[in-house]
Amino acid sequence: MRIVAVEEAFSVPGAIRQEGAIRQRFAVPDSMAQEWFRRLSDLTELRLADMDAHGVDVQVLSFSTPGLEVVEDPAEAVAAARRINDYLAKAVAEHPTRFAGFAVLPLQDPKAAVVELRRAVEELGLKGVLHNDHVLGHYLDEPQFRPVWAELERLGVTLYLHPAAVPADNWRVFEGYPVLVGPSWGWTATVGAHALRLIYGGVFDEFPGASVTLGHMGELLPFQMARLDSRYDQIPAEGRVRQLPSYYLRNNVYVTTSGVMSHAALLGAVHAVGIDRVLFSIDYPFESSAEAVTFLRTAPYAPADLERIAHSNAERILRL
């Protein structure tokens, strides 16, 4: 079975000045962090060997956290985005049957981000965008980002909304429990809320052809659809979007399996949003390729449906 994995991280050493300081804050054993960093900066030897060992045909590469969103100076962000996207496009060109890529955008300067998005897709051949949650505390439903959504819709590419290493603010409920801040819960809560801002902020009413992709089984939003819809009638009429929240989750959102190797969760996500909107992901190198591929191959689906999750949805959506 052909396998395409769509949230697979890489790094460009030195591309982001703040990278070293932020990485020192990662609350993981040093040996684990060092292995991650070794694999993130490798695009051939370790990565291709891992893919071959576990039957992964294609990785869709994306720039690892901390990403471009931590850069405060817009001009610096624009220059870094060009360097990273050029680096990624070169890696894809050298291994065109094994890699595809998501661009980074300098959203600190939305006008420049539109220009770079157009260049990344039309000139470099990248397949969409991956962005790490907020932009120095700003969210993508805000008016200054509407031109970016217009260009995403025009180009027909998705924006993968990924967690950020540096939170926009500090939630008191997490105080004293750092385990809650990151992947176990905080990232899901913040990125899921950001996606809901896009829905309730009318982004998909204004740009119905635009889409957002959410990892970690859709940051659990597929499992909240009934609850979201049940509150719709209580929203004042002037503040409502045109459709129930579930409509946008089924029409403007794609879901990936990254980091959630649970057949129960997969069954629920597929039932909620539809099997044509669920894509396989490993989250290399932060998750085990062996575990993720075993999870995929043993999923309780007929072969034709499993092929959709494993590769054909990604090929259609990303035009691989």
Cα gap 140→309, rounded to integer Å: 28
Domain boundaries along the sequence of the chain: 4-318
Which of the four CATH numbers 3.30.565.10, 3.20.20.140, 3.40.1180.10, 1.10.260.40 does domain 4-318 have?
3.20.20.140
Question: Is 169 annotated as catalytic?
Answer: no
Cα gap 57→96, rounded to integer Å: 11
183-192, 293-302, 305-314: least confident range: 183-192
Please identify which of the residues 50, 109, 133, 283 carries the catalytic annotation: 283
Q: Which helix (H) or strand (E) holds 293?
A: helix 289-297
Cα gap 204→212, rounded to integer Å: 10
Cα gap 130→258, rounded to integer Å: 14
On the CB side of 116, CA atoms within 13 Å amount to 25
Q: Which two tokens stand for residue 99?
A: 């890699």
What does pTM read for this prediction?
0.95
SS3 63: strand
Position 170 scores a pLDDT of: 87
Compute the Cα dihedral for 226, 227, 233, 236 and give only its sign.
negative
SS3 6: strand
- What is the number of residues in the chain? 320
Checking if the pLDDT of 28 tops 60, the result is yes
Identify residue 289 by its one-letter amino acid code. Answer: S
3-state helix, strand, coil in the chain (%, to 5): 55, 10, 35
Cα gap 240→233, rounded to integer Å: 9
Give 236-291 pLDDT, tens digit per residue: 888 899 999 999 999 999 999 999 999 999 999 999 999 999 999 999 999 999 99
Position 21 scores a pLDDT of: 52
Strand 128-132 vs strand 253-256: parallel, antiparallel, or unpaired?
unpaired
